[in-house]
């Protein structure tokens, strides 16, 4: 028995068509204006809602092991489905850090057992993310690590980063870099600017990011590794990447919804909801980031989903941890504030959130075509809903977007031909959690 999606508005062969999709054995078997049901297939009436390739998030923190009070692989992968994501890459800065083959295997199997969105593990660059000794990179690849990152910390040693790049290049795995020179970021909590001065708190200068980006681009050019820059925040970083791409350096980059839509001047009480690393920066930086996604300098949008407990975020701006959740709000935020406003086309948003992530990380999905894996998301672009953190599937609610009214909410998410989440259904939230 298969599935027929009836009368969806489908992004197919670089154009929008209102058509039916026949899905059998997890793949798309037929695309035609009207398909007759002759074999008892499940019928899904799309009603001319958007049917797009499932979203892919290449940067999420699922907190397990060690931070299960904030998120688990089960809860995070389920939240991903609600946000329209069919694949999530899990960052390794857990407790213990995912720095060994056994722990890569643990994450991979946990994701499979959860049975929600596909969860793929990223291995740490250094043992314990301490920046002192390289982890068993080869062993982690053998168990399924898709990339390496010490996300949450910048690799301070240039020599260590160069050795990492050389080994990763030999294995054909990318380095996902959190670029932060800790001698410059120090104990800063928000962007070094007018708001930090107003609140009388230490700031994080943009140089803390872009000087390490500059260093790593030179090393990437020398080693030939696929070098990927995480959560860009600085306009100067964007320009460095633009110039490196023009020279032929194998570099890609991501930006988050919060860095595209907010600046440091948007901070309001409770300020800790806006405490993110790298921080929300100036309006000029924000403009440069948007220009980066328009001209292709920035390849993808990633959520940097970073859940924390209410108690942690209530510690105040100085003591609260960095981070905000994002899996369940990313697409409607960007659709409402970039697509509906005419800044970015819908087609470019799909490319940024699905097609390009699949391409640059060699993942399944990212496209609707015959014989492709049926990872699909149905979007209602006309429904207006309010961001209500109490309704999140995530175990955490720390977001700067509470109360925002948005269009473009997912109504159904399918992974490998199986409907995993549907709006208004229970979705088996109690199983294995």
- Give the residue numbers marked as catalytic: 304
Rounded-to-integer distance, Cα 262 and Cα 280, Å = 7
For residues 398 and 407, is the Cβ–Cβ distance under 8 A?
Answer: no
Residue 348 is encoded by which pair of tokens? 């470019």
- Distances in Å between the Cα of 67 and the Cα atoms of 33, 70, 92, 295, 309 are 48, 6, 12, 38, 10
For residues 66 and 95, is the Cβ–Cβ distance under 8 A?
Answer: yes
For residues 109 and 79, is the Cβ–Cβ distance under 8 A?
Answer: no
Q: Report which secondary-structure segment, H or E, holds 17.
A: strand 15-24
Residue 372 is encoded by which pair of tokens? 């492709």
Rounded-to-integer distance, Cα 403 and Cα 110, Å = 33
For residues 111 and 135, is the Cβ–Cβ distance under 8 A?
Answer: no
For residues 152 and 124, is the Cβ–Cβ distance under 8 A?
Answer: no
Rounded-to-integer distance, Cα 148 and Cα 60, Å = 14
Residue 393 is encoded by which pair of tokens? 């599937």
Residues facing 24 on adjacent strands: 27
Residue 74 is encoded by which pair of tokens? 């089960």
Q: What φ, ψ does residue 374 adopt, rounded to 5°?
A: -85, 70
Among 54, 125, 113, 64, residue whose Cα is nearest residue 88: 54
Alpha-carbon dihedral of residues 140, 145, 146, 149, nearest 10 degrees?
Answer: -70
Among 67, 334, 82, 52, residue whose Cα is nearest residue 90: 67
DSSP labels, 241-273: HHHHHHHT--EEEEE-HHHHH--GGG--SSGGG
Residue 215 is encoded by which pair of tokens? 């260093």
């Amino acid at each position: 028995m298969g599935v027929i999606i009836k009368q969806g508005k489908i992004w197919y062969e670089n154009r929008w068509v209102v058509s039916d999709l026949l899905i059998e054995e997890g793949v798309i078997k037929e695309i035609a204006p009207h398909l007759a049901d002759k074999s008892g297939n499940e019928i899904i009436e799309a009603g001319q809602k958007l049917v797009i390739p499932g979203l892919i998030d290449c940067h999420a923190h699922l907190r397990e092991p060690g931070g299960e009070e904030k998120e688990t692989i089960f809860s995070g992968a389920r939240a991903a489905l609600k946000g329209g994501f069919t694949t999530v890459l899990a960052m390794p800065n857990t407790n213990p850090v995912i720095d060994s083959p056994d722990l890569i295997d643990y994450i991979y199997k946990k994701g499979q057992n959860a049975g929600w969105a596909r969860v793929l593990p990223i291995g740490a660059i250094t043992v314990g993310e301490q920046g002192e000794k390289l982890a068993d990179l080869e062993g982690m690849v053998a168990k399924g690590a898709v990339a390496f990152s010490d996300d949450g910390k910048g690799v301070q040693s240039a020599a260590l980063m160069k050795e990492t790049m050389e080994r990763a290049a030999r294995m054909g795995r990318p380095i996902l870099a959190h670029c932060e020179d800790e001698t410059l970021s120090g104990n800063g909590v928000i962007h070094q600017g007018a708001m930090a001065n107003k609140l009388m708190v230490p700031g994080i200068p943009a140089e803390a990011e872009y000087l390490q980006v500059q260093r790593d681009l030179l090393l990437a050019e020398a080693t030939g590794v696929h070098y990927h820059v995480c959560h860009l925040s600085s306009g100067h970083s964007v320009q460095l990447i633009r110039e490196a791409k023009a020279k032929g350096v194998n570099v890609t980059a991501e930006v988050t919804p919060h860095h595209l839509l907010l600046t440091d001047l948007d901070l309001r009480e409770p300020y800790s909801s806006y405490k993110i690393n790298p921080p929300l920066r100036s309006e000029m930086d924000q403009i440069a980031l948007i220009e980066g996604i328009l001209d292709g300098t920035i390849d993808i949008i990633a959520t940097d989903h970073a859940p924390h407990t209410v108690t942690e975020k209530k510690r105040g701006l100085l003591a609260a941890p960095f981070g905000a959740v994002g899996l369940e709000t990313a697409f409607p935020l960007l659709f409402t504030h970039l697509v509906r406003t005419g800044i970015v086309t819908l087609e470019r948003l799909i490319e940024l959130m699905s097609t390009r992530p699949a391409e640059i990380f060699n993942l399944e999905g990212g496209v609707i075509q015959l014989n492709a894996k049926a990872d699909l998301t149905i979007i209602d672009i006309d429904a207006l809903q309010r961001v209500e953190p109490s309704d999140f599937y995530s175990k955490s609610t720390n977001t700067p977007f509470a109360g925002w009214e948005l269009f473009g909410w997912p109504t159904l998410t399918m992974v490998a031909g199986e409907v995993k989440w549907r709006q208004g259904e229970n979705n088996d939230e109690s199983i294995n959690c």
